[in-house]
A and B are shown apart, each in its own frame.
Chain A
């Protein structure tokens, strides 16, 4: 190393270090008794390290996430405008909006959209209501509170596959536990596999079973953050427990409720594993009459059973657009609600 170089590096480094970097950094670089040459090399390395390391730390995430989520998202749009067959992957031809046109004129698409909406509604609404109630109960001072929480969360650890196989058997036509209990109470047996509302209810109940405890914990976390003073002043005003719940807990929970509604809506839009497995051999069709074929199932059926990947891409993008629409409506509704108060 030559001395002019050192001098240059030194002056540059101290000039650089002056405004932006924390005082500690400059001291760390210069305050050592090392020979001047080694010091400047080190300080240059040090400054480079300071500048580059944030990017190095976030790079793996963005590279991997971009490559396997964001870029595919755009490619899906591209493929949705093409004719791509599973049997001839190398032979892709431009199709324009044909795939979308086919979708809009297909009864199965509208059927799947309607089923997704219905199943989403009858799985999400009771689930979140039960979760609020459950969270409210778990918020009392309880014996063995942790045990209760862990027990309520066990279904979350059960996979879609295992849970659905069990529920399918519970809902079987003869010998099934559910129909036996119904008989016990004097009600007739329900054909949970074939009937329209019966099968949709059955599929929803699997979703409800797996996710109620999870949502209850999220509500519980939010409830524990509500200041006690609010309850105390409500009590002074003569509010009973139910009124406190209605006028203190629920309003305070509103942001969390909105959050879980959004997350559950997204989950409902993607519903796939439960109806697929509930259907057994003809799973991707969503039952003999497509009575519980959801959009997620329809996409899988068109793409990997029938083998039309272009159309599957179009279905995927339709799902995305519907999600964006739902999010927009959600946002609008909450604004309206906030204003009306």
Chain B
């Protein structure tokens, strides 16, 4: 056997494996029909939110429900914006989610790099601890956090929401898994030979190698932080809300105008939907690659 005879089929097998099992089978019409049903189920509630937001509360009470757009969209958006204070809320959410994202990505990359490539005492144990704590529900921390933040006089202030979410065990583990494979140890050693300090190694070798995973972790963290509900609703009042807290106040108003509520729901989701349109592919890839987190 010559080498070429061996390598060609091997490459073929490899390519087929990369394509994945079953993927050589083309989808039949039934598959497309079923997928379309799933897709409609995914999108219909969102589309209908926009339809309902363009109507009046009176029309929404009638049967049959509206199936197409009316002319009230901008009026309702304006009312929702004013009633729920969505301007403040969006700004607050942007600060909260932005800070949490930057901090989580930065510290996860540093810790993930240490766990992936550096040898130090207790590293195995510490990594195990990190993974184990991914299962702790947030409910277990809220009472003490609430009491401490009250003691500090930080009730209703944004740092109350930001501080407990600055790092995540998931992020650390996610970066570690990525860097184990994506960062060649030779690259670090080469930098070491040149006498580079750890900070230089991080800046010039680790960050460039980690950039794709950092982007994905950033997107996932931003979605999570923007949508977080339990702690913000305990920590913040309606005077200084995040978007989710503001939406909650819309829903529990005593004169609920359903069309305005739908307009609020639409506005509150819009920033993420736009982000999704732009980065949906990366988010999908990130979830499939990380394949974790609830």
A residues in contact (CB < 8 Å) with B: 22, 24-25, 27-29, 32, 42, 46, 49-50, 53-58, 60-62, 64-65, 68-73, 75-76, 79, 84, 89, 134, 136-143, 146, 148-170, 174-177, 180, 183, 209, 213-214, 217-218, 220-228, 230-231, 241, 244, 248-249, 256, 259, 262-264, 266-267, 269-270, 272-273, 276-277, 280-281, 283, 296, 299-300, 303-304, 309, 312-313, 316-317, 319-320, 323, 327
Say yes or no: B252 contacts A280, CB within 8 Å. Answer: yes
Q: Known: A60-B111, A157-B269. Is A221-B288 also a contact (CB below 8 A)?
A: yes
- Interface contacts beyond A61-B108, A217-B287: sample of 7 additional A-B pairs, CB < 8 Å, sorted by A: A58-B111, A60-B167, A152-B38, A158-B227, A161-B243, A299-B139, A304-B234
B181 to chain A: closest CB distance in Å? 14
Say yes or no: B20 contacts A139, CB within 8 Å. Answer: yes
Say yes or no: B265 contacts A316, CB within 8 Å. Answer: no
Say yes or no: A159 contacts B272, CB within 8 Å. Answer: yes
Q: Known: A54-B118, A140-B26, A170-B45. Is A165-B294 also a contact (CB below 8 A)?
A: no
Please encode chain B, from 38 to 81, with 1 for each CB lying within 8 Å of some chain A CB and 0 for all others: 11011101101100100000001111110000000000000000
Say yes or no: A327 contacts B135, CB within 8 Å. Answer: yes
Q: How far is the CA of A43 from the CA of B251 in the complex (A)?
A: 64
Q: Known: A140-B31, A165-B262, A169-B261. Is A154-B43 also a contact (CB below 8 A)?
A: yes
Say yes or no: B192 contacts A165, CB within 8 Å. Answer: no
- Max count, chain A CB within 10 A of own CB: residue among B119, B123, B143: B143
Q: Known: A89-B150, A166-B262, A317-B140. Is A160-B227 also a contact (CB below 8 A)?
A: yes
Say yes or no: B139 contacts A319, CB within 8 Å. Answer: yes
Q: How large is the interface on B (under 10, 10 to 19, 20 to 34, 35 or more residues)?
A: 35 or more
A-B pairs with the 9 shortest C-beta distances? A224-B20, A53-B198, A150-B280, A72-B141, A75-B144, A140-B27, A54-B120, A161-B247, A221-B288
B291 touches A (CB below 8 Å): yes
B163 touches A (CB below 8 Å): yes
Question: Which residue of chain A has the shortest Cβ distance to B52 in the bound complex?
Answer: A169
Say yes or no: B118 contacts A157, CB within 8 Å. Answer: no
- Can you give 14 A-B contacts (C-beta < 8 A)? A28-B192, A53-B114, A58-B114, A137-B27, A137-B31, A139-B21, A142-B35, A157-B283, A167-B45, A170-B45, A209-B41, A223-B20, A228-B21, A317-B140
B218 touches A (CB below 8 Å): no
A76 to chain B: closest CB distance in Å? 5
Question: Which residue of chain A has the shortest Cβ distance to B259 in the bound complex?
Answer: A169
Say yes or no: A176 contacts B65, CB within 8 Å. Answer: yes
| B9-31 with Cβ < 8 A to chain A | 16-17, 20-27, 31
Contacts of B102 in A (CB 8 A): none
B88 to chain A: closest CB distance in Å? 16
Q: Known: A154-B46, A165-B251, A272-B230. Is A58-B262 also a contact (CB below 8 A)?
A: no
Q: How far is the CA of A161 from the CA of B227 in the complex (A)?
A: 8
Please encode chain B, from 120 to 150, with 1 for each CB lying within 8 Å of some chain A CB and 0 for all others: 1001001000100101111111111111001
B101 touches A (CB below 8 Å): no
Q: How far is the CA of A224 from the CA of B18 in the complex (A)?
A: 8
Contacts of A153 in B (CB 8 A): 276, 280, 283-284, 287
Contacts of A140 in B (CB 8 A): 22-23, 25-27, 31
Please encode chain B, from 227 to 260, with 1 for each CB lying within 8 Å of some chain A CB and 0 for all others: 1011001100000000110011011101010100
